[in-house]
Amino acid sequence: MRINWNYISFLVFVIGLYFVLLFFMPQKFNWFITLYHKDKDPFGTYVLKSLIDEAWLTEINTSNQTLFELKDREESNLLILCEQFQVSESEIESLLAEVSDGKNAIIAAHHIDTVFADSLGFRLNELSFSFYLDQLWGKDSLGLRFIDDPFDTTSTYWLPTQLAPQYFESFDSASTEVIAKNTDEKPVLINIRLGAGNLLISSTPLVFTNFSLLKERNHEFVAGIFSFFPAGALQWTEYYQLGRLEAQTPLRYVLSEPSLKWALYILMITIIIVMIFEIKRKQRIIPVIVPLKNETLDFVKTIARLYYQKKDHKDLALKKILHFTDYLKQRLYIDITDDVSIVITKVAAKLGVEESLVKLLFEQMNHISSASYISASELKLLMDRIDGVVGE
């Protein structure tokens, strides 16, 4: 197979140029709120996951399962970060039962399901979260602080106001403890005691994001929240923010890893480019084959000239007679060795001509066979009589 190095060189150049541009292009951030533990963009939680991995003494599991699917989990601690915490009644029952049995959970969300909130006796203010990128780079105008021991109540952790607009309007003071407030004295973190466990609910999920944790000392505020968790394995479910988050394809692992995903994309693009170039028809020039010239007529003319120049009319007449008798034998199936009168009758009958014409032809044939020389006119007369009998 012949290798087209022009196409290969072009592909290598295009791919190399792509990587050079990718390397020198300024970093672009995705400002969508994902709260995904592998997302390094501002509102992902890659930094949180990295810090937990370093500081947590036991196992940390991330999943995309519902509370109902996790009801029999072995982990004693549960973490849920999402924008809107929407749950079914069966999921609420599973969560409350697990916490009552001694497990601990942290739920951080801007909006919490009304049925769930009513069952625990608290209410958030109306959902008012709005995101304006230009305001993120202004002066931080809203602070968060712990209000009681054993936390540092003297420190305030500042954020742009738009990242923490939610707070608790009301709660059941008999079973709920306020852990943190904002600088407007609005509760933003509460702990609800249920049986042997604790359920911490935060109205500021963006505090856990990369953008917040990398600002000054905000990581200390998140560390204080996690101090509520006793020693034990941690289950972090991202179902309520991201859903199942798995490609319904055998390539789900490849697509879940950015480097492998881009390698797959580049491979597919390369194949498409090769197909586009190779789809052009490749073929050698088809040679023009000149059909063979029919030289039979030229041959006949040459032989005719030869006989004409030699003036050997008898030899030519004998060849014509031989051709005619062969015709009678092969085509008409007439035995020319029979009596001449019988042959003449059969020829006349099969060719549909008068016997007198056939008789004259045979008489001339006998004459020519016995003669030593014939003239050109006699040769022509023989030709005409054969043509008249055969009809050609």
pLDDT, tens digit, for every residue of 287-303? 888 887 777 777 777 77
Burial degree of 95 (CB within 10 A; 0-12, 13-18, 19+): buried
**What is the secondary structure of 251-300 as a DSSP string?**
THHHHHSHHHHHHHHHHHHHHHHHHHHHTS---PPPP--PPPP--HHHHH
Q: Which of 31, 34, 32, 68 has its CA nearest to residue 49?
A: 34
The per-residue pLDDT for 246 is 59
The per-residue pLDDT for 80 is 95
Structure tokens at 344: 């003449």
Per-residue model confidence as pLDDT tens digits over 1-21: 555 667 677 777 777 777 777
Where residue 215 falls (left for φ over 0; alpha for ψ -120 to 50; beta otherwise) is: beta
For the chain, which residues make up each domain, given as ranges? 31-245, 296-390
Global pTM reads 0.59
**β-bridge mates for residue 198, sequence order:** 193
Per-residue model confidence as pLDDT tens digits over 341-370: 888 888 888 888 888 888 998 988 888 888
Q: What percent of the chain has pLDDT over 70?
A: 87
Question: Do 125 and 132 contact (CB within 8 A), yes or no?
Answer: no
Where residue 21 falls (left for φ over 0; alpha for ψ -120 to 50; beta otherwise) is: alpha
User: What CATH fold (topology level) applies to the domain 31-245?
Assistant: Rossmann fold (3.40.50)
